Amino acid sequence: LLDPLDAVVYVYAPKRARLDPSAVAGLEELRRHAGDRIARVDFFDEDASLAAAVRRLPVDVLGRLLAVAGNWLGGLTVNSSVGAAPAKFAAKGELFNYVQHDRCLRFYHQHFVGRPVIYTRTDFQWLCPHPPLHTLSVERQVWIPDSGWDDYGGFYDNHAVLWGSGIEAFLGGWRQIFDGRAVRSLRSDLTWVNPETFLAMRLEVAGLFPPQRYVQCAFRTCTPDSSSTSATVGKWGRSLCDSGTGARFEYPWEWAASQATMACFSEGPGRWTRPLLQRCLDAPVPFPEDIGFSYAALAGAASAEEAPPAAGCVPRFNAEFAALAAVSGAAVLPVVGGVGDEGGGQVHPPRWSRLREQQYECRHLGHRYVHVRLRAAHSSEEQEVSGRGFGLCVPVECAGEDMGVIALRCAEAAGLSPGAASGEWVEVQDPPRTALPPPSDRAGKWARARLDGRQVANLSQHR
């Protein structure tokens, strides 16, 4: 990363990192690699900074901020409550990323005005050299890597190359939140805001929408430990570590995209050129599981308590409906409890996912993913062209007639079937395991990664 960019390094670290042995060791490793490139390591008391910022914030602005649904201000609610104890880092969330941004922006204004800024993470593993700045056009003031999947309705916010007004737009979230600009700029049609959609909004206001995209060369790493195989961590384990790849379960597409970029770069002349950058960006990203993302640690987390009960397919589907529905690629339906009469009376909000490229997104050992295809009665013509095919996550013991009952009733609840009582309306099959998504799926994935800013509200909830 540093050599191709000939970069000077500013490192932000929370004050408490001085007391964290793993953080201290990581900083020492960074110093060994970066040497005298490091201009400053900034240990900052972000707890005190947040407390002071909240005290200065007008009550009406704070109320408007807290009224916006989403995780874009993670940590603000707890840390701004009347009579609350001093801010605790355990209650923090995405809000504190903006503290990092602001400290970086301050250092830029003090020492490096007029020069480009590269915002990145110290836990990235780089599989190929970062493209030199001369291969990226300075006229496009914000360049963001594209994994094809990690935009969450806005734009990926873990790495960026910035020039000019793009520096203020990308790194100025903290200032916009606390000077009132953020609440004035939020569109009324946004029902959910996350950090990625907030970034998209800032770029749009600055006239820098959409940003330029380029290749993903790095992925977030992690260190497997005893918690990686603990059944108490949680069923889905999406923030655990894959011991085989060293990547986090939560970001498999970031890892897969960096692998694809590495393979593409290795076929080139050994250096980045603009044609090679475009060719590698256009290359489809393979399914993570097809190239070695095994979720082995999660599979090892199975315990006697997690063993599938003997109650049967449909009762277990109803009992685990909320968890099954929460998994990417599963159906989230406006049904009461489940698909039978014993669902329990809880109404789940409508959201129907037909994202076929998420075909392996059932991450729990006791679940499996299936494709459901709806057909007209006594007809061999598939109706997927009209959007009546979908993916479904079900208990692993489901098969045969029970599977058809679940699939058909889910389709009826979502309005994708005219309510036929016959299984002739539905075909359930295991997804094909192919090395790459079918061409139609690739086009859909890339199109969603470049959504117009006015369409981000619906996808932003899928994080």
- Reported as a single tens digit per residue, the pLDDT across 423-432 is 445 667 665 5
Q: Is 215 helix (H, G, I), strand (E, B) or coil?
A: coil
- Reported as a single tens digit per residue, the pLDDT across 199-247 is 999 999 999 999 999 999 999 988 765 444 433 333 344 557 777 788 8
Q: Quote the crossing angle between the two packed helices 274-282 and 252-266, to the nearest 10°.
A: 140
Longest CA–CA separation in the chain, Å: 73
Ranges of residues in the chain with a pLDDT under 50 are 81-91, 226-237, 297-309, 328-358, 378, 380-387, 420-424, 433-463
- Reported as a single tens digit per residue, the pLDDT across 331-370 is 333 333 344 444 443 333 333 333 444 455 565 667 777 7
Q: What is the DSSP letter of 349?
A: P
Q: Is 118 helix (H, G, I), strand (E, B) or coil?
A: strand
CA distance 424 to 118: 56
- What's the confidence (pLDDT) of residue 413? 61
Provide φ and ψ at 129, rounded to 5°.
-65, 145
Tokens coding 277: 């950058």
CA distance 267 to 389: 37
Decide if 285 contacts 147 (C-beta within 8 A): yes
- What's the confidence (pLDDT) of residue 385? 33
- What's the confidence (pLDDT) of residue 377? 52
Tokens coding 322: 């909320």
Tokens coding 455: 């369409």
Q: Which amino acid is at 16?
A: R
- What's the confidence (pLDDT) of residue 444? 31
Tokens coding 87: 């801010």
CA distance 67 to 430: 43
CA distance 4 to 271: 10
